[in-house]
């Protein structure tokens, strides 16, 4: 599948901000299963400093500074991305989750893809006894990891209510868990907390979903903004994506923007403004499938 993505994030400040500094994580990179054909970041007002780079996990980051008063700040990303289905039936589906947990801890790996980064409590996802106990119901002794993960993914979809008013961007997973409500970020954090509580490496993924479902299919939740899901380390099979908000495995409708330990690592926009003013925020996302002309792809 080939997609054209366009996201605009627009801040309006109630009073002019004298200057600001931001980190932008809004441009996707080419990675397993997806190729970024083109990408462009437009920032208004024009930054006085702009430095591009990659973070520890390989995500594209842009550091900017805006010098001079501004009452609006907008970032638009436009990208064309080609998604190729990843082969997940490479065997080894029957590896027990305990064996994977032990392998994750002992693997002599510490690069960006290593499981070890996603095994420990992180800034927004502490180890939580109650969530771990909830997850453990799917992880019976000796059960294959993928089967158990599918079960947990489906349970979160059925046990929790999608409710954008229940939580905020900094809601603790234990609260969303107790309320059984939230949005994609909360469900991803809950699933991650449960998996890590059991000693399994689970990463947080931010990205996009196609906006309009193909004919005859339900529109997926989370398509109107940046979406979030979970990636689980499965030993030799590498990382496998689960979308607990929709209760599905990650497929060709999911476009990866960034990965990290939790939302704090991948927040699309972090910033410091030297002002005490209020702001309002508008986000608009379009993810349109593009007809492939070059069929040899």
Q: How far is CA 38 from CA 33, 82, 85, 243, 255, in A?
A: 16, 10, 20, 26, 14
Q: Could you say which of 56, 58, 130, 178 contacts another protein (CB under 8 A)?
A: 56
Candidates 79-87, 171-179, 206-214, 267-275; binding stretch for another protein (CB under 8 A): 267-275
Candidates 32-40, 89-97, 109-117, 230-238; binding stretch for another protein (CB under 8 A): 109-117
Tell me the CA end-to-end span of the chain in Å, nearest whole number.
10
Supply the minimum distance, in Å, between the C-beta of residue 232 and another protein.
17
Tokens of 167: 């939580």
Q: Residue 209: which residues within 8 A CB-CB, separation 6 or more? A: 220, 222, 223, 227, 253, 254, 255, 287
91 binds another protein, rule: CB under 8 A: no
- β-pairing, 239-243 vs 279-289, is unpaired
**CB neighbourhood size of 173 (10 A):** 25
Tokens of 237: 């099979």
DSSP three-state, residue 21: strand
Supply the minimum distance, in Å, between the C-beta of residue 47 and another protein.
12
Candidates 61-69, 203-211, 235-243, 279-287; binding stretch for another protein (CB under 8 A): 61-69
C-beta closer to another protein: residue 92 or 271 = 271
Q: Could you say which of 154, 225, 264, 283 contacts another protein (CB under 8 A)?
A: 264
270 binds another protein, rule: CB under 8 A: yes
**CB neighbourhood size of 40 (10 A):** 11
Give the whole-angstrom CA distance, residue 27 versus residue 57. 14
297 binds another protein, rule: CB under 8 A: no
Supply the minimum distance, in Å, between the C-beta of residue 149 and another protein.
17
Tokens of 236: 């030799």
272 binds another protein, rule: CB under 8 A: yes
137 binds another protein, rule: CB under 8 A: no
Residues of this chain that bind another protein (CB under 8 A): 18-19, 21-23, 49, 51, 55-57, 63, 65, 67-69, 105-110, 114, 116-117, 119-123, 126-127, 129, 132, 197-199, 264, 267, 270-272, 274
């Amino acid at each position: 599948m080939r997609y054209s993505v366009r996201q605009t994030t627009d801040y309006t400040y109630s009073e002019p901000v004298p200057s600001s500094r931001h980190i932008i994580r809004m441009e996707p990179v080419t990675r397993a299963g997806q190729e970024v054909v083109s990408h462009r970041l437009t920032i208004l007002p024009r930054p006085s400093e702009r430095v591009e780079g990659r973070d520890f996990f390989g995500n594209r980051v842009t550091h900017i500074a805006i010098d001079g008063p501004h009452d609006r700040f907008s970032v638009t990303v436009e990208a064309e991305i080609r998604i190729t289905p990843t082969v997940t039936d490479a065997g080894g589906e029957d590896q027990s989750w305990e064996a994977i947990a032990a392998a994750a801890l002992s693997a002599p790996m510490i690069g960006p893809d290593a499981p070890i980064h996603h095994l420990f409590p992180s800034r927004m996802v502490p180890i939580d006894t109650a969530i771990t106990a909830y997850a453990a119901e799917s992880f019976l002794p000796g059960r294959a990891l993928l089967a158990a993960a599918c079960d947990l993914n489906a349970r979160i979809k059925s046990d929790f209510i999608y409710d954008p008013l229940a939580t905020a961007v900094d809601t603790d997973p234990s609260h969303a868990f107790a309320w059984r409500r939230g949005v994609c970020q909360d469900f991803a954090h809950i699933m991650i907390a449960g998996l890590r509580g059991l000693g399994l490496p689970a990463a947080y993924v931010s990205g996009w979903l196609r906006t309009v479902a193909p004919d005859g299919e339900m529109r997926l939740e989370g398509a109107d903004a940046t979406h979030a899901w979970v990636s689980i380390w499965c030993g030799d099979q590498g990382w496998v994506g689960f979308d607990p908000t929709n209760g599905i495995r990650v497929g060709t409708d999911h476009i990866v923007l960034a990965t990290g330990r939790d939302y704090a690592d991948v927040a699309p926009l972090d910033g410091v403004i030297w002002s005490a003013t209020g702001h309002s925020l508008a986000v608009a996302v379009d993810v349109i499938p593009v007809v492939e002309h070059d069929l040899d792809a």
